[in-house]
Amino acid sequence: MNKEFELLRKEIAVCQKCPLAEGRTNVVFGEGPFSSKIVCIGEGPGRDEDIKARPFVGRSGQLLDKILVEFGFSREENVFIGNIVKCRPPDNRAPKPLERAACIPFLLKQIELIQPKIIILLGATALNGLVDPKLKITKVRGNWIEWNGCLAMPTFHPAAILRNPNLKKESREDFGKVVEKYRELVNPNHKAEYC
């Protein structure tokens, strides 16, 4: 395990940099192999994630795991999963600008250390927090964005797909593009059920 990454984990575990520290049960650092060439980014921990100290373990997380597996990926093998903020916003509201600003440097440090080739931005908060606050997920999803030396693919958050199953088709198209790029940049023999 990378020493700097583990030091960062310890620093984040006791972070009090924003008001979200008050209501959390656990800090959710993120999970997945340090060697991952894909980093998936969501919004922030919900109730289940806060209790279990793990990202994407509720209904949205189960859907994300299912989508990843369909495309030959998993958090056990080749994807690191994180969030824009690492502590649960109350009532599952979106993180406020000040909270995002306080927490995003941790995510940037994680990405700098992991050095992924591909970043999957799950939903508007990830897109706006990491890339550009003015971009609309519905407009740019499915299109590669060059970002800090890697490629970012904006797509729908699994929670949005649960609310509107019609988004499944576009989500699959976006993950199909991720598979193509992964074969080009990382592993030409990558196997996936859907493409």
Q: If residue 5 lies in a helix (H) or strand (E), which one and from where to where?
A: helix 3-13
Tell me which long-range contacts 168-174 makes (C-beta under 8 A, separation of at least 24). 170/141, 170/142, 171/67, 172/67, 172/70, 173/142, 174/141, 174/142
Please state, as a whole number, how many other Cβ atoms lie within 10 Å of the Cβ of residue 109. 15
Cα dihedral across residues 33, 34, 39, 43: positive or negative = positive
Q: How far apart are CA 159 and CA 154, in angstroms?
A: 15
Q: Is 64 in the site for ligand SF4 (CB under 6 A)?
A: no
Q: Is 100 in the site for ligand SF4 (CB under 6 A)?
A: no
Which 3 state secondary structure label does DSSP give 151? Answer: strand
Q: How far is the CB of 104 from ligand SF4 (least distance, A)?
A: 9
Q: Which is nearer to ligand SF4, 103 or 153 (CB)?
A: 103
Q: How far apart are CA 77 and CA 58, in angstroms?
A: 20
In terms of Cα–Cα distance, which of 104, 99, 67, 102 is closest to 82? 104
**Site track 114-153 with ligand SF4 (rule: CB under 6 A), x = hit:** ----------------------------------------
Q: Which of 39, 41, 63, 85 binds ligand SF4 (CB under 6 A)?
A: 85
**Site track 19-58 with ligand SF4 (rule: CB under 6 A), x = hit:** -xx-----x-------------------------------
Q: How far apart are CA 195 and CA 191, in angstroms?
A: 8
| Site for ligand SF4, residues 149 to 188, rule: CB under 6 A | none
Q: Which of 103, 118, 122, 192 binds ligand SF4 (CB under 6 A)?
A: 103
Q: Which is nearer to ligand SF4, 72 or 95 (CB)?
A: 95
Q: Which of 5, 8, 9, 15 binds ligand SF4 (CB under 6 A)?
A: 15
Q: Is 84 in the site for ligand SF4 (CB under 6 A)?
A: no
Q: Which is nearer to ligand SF4, 56 or 175 (CB)?
A: 56
Q: How far is the CB of 123 from ligand SF4 (least distance, A)?
A: 17
Residue 175 contacts residue 80 (beta carbons within 8 Å):
no
Residue numbers of the site for ligand SF4 (CB under 6 A)?
12, 15-18, 20-21, 27, 85-87, 99, 102-103
